[in-house]
Amino acid sequence: MRPMSFGQGGSSQQWDPWKPNSQQPWSGGSAGGSPDWAALADASEARAKRRRLLFIGGGALAAVAIGTAVAVAVVSAGGSNQASPGTESQLPGVSDLPSPTGTVPSFEPTSAPPPLDPKDFVASAQKDKAPLSPDILFPGTQLTMGDTVYKKGPTADTKDCASAAKATLPKVLTDNGCTRLIRVTYSRDGVAVTVGVAVFATEAQATKAKQQADAKSIVKSLSGGGVKDFCVGAVCRSTTNAYGRYAYFTLAGFTSGKDVTEKDKAVFKTGDDLQEFTYRQIRRRGEAQASAAAVG
């Protein structure tokens, strides 16, 4: 009789090579009996089949993992080159690029000479060499200031400064070395003004004459050429100023002989306009000489 194999009679537990504590089947004979070769072959085949399934499954998982990595790489490569918020771009910016190592040429700093100051050319007789006369300083036959036109009247020019001044002004001019006094008169609508320009050797002398002049330091009014006498015995308005080596004075009043009051705005405006014009003319004199010196 064929010996009973293990599992067909003595025990119901089947041997499974992949389960712990399972027993390998042997023949139920004596210790010297031979094993069931058919059962062993079946078990070996089962083990080989499971091993192939595991290899196939592992390869599938590896393929899935590789496919995922490739997909992620493709998505990343197809995205925008801009860095996401809070991160820095992997591409170097312009400032990160290496700068050239060549030597940069250097140049010595240069500067233009400072412009010439026009006042310097009217500050002293040594530099103020341009021609000077009443018609050069006060050209034309009329003067326009804004929308106001003044008619030019008589002119005068003397080296005896005191003779063309009144009250306290003759002494002031003499003490400070006045060398020349030019006068001109302008008029409009019954108001006349005489401008007197006193010439000194230096700016310091002209400035001192201005400082020493007081309310009674006035030039003599200049009439004629259609301008009646004015400011002979009447109250008139006077001004005093200086620029460079020139001190200039104005005396304005009515040709009718009426006294000037603070309400007479036309008289004040006439005096202010001629004072401003005189300043401009003296400054232009300096500008012209400064330009000529710069060119030469």
> What torsion do the CA atoms of 157, 163, 165, 171 make, to the nearest 10 degrees?
120
pLDDT digits (tens, 9 = 90+) for 58-95: 555 444 444 544 444 444 444 444 444 444 445 455 55
Instruction: Give me the percent of the chain exceeding a pLDDT of 70.
Output: 61
CB 192 within 8 A of CB 227: yes
pLDDT digits (tens, 9 = 90+) for 126-148: 999 999 999 999 999 999 999 99
pLDDT digits (tens, 9 = 90+) for 9-55: 444 455 555 555 555 554 444 444 555 656 666 666 666 666 655 54
Is pLDDT larger for residue 103 or for residue 254? 254
Kindly state the helix (H) or strand (E) to which residue 14 belongs, with its residue range.
Answer: none
Q: DSSP letter for 206, please.
A: H
CB 199 within 8 A of CB 254: no
Reported as a pLDDT band with limits 50, 70 and 90, residue 115 is confident
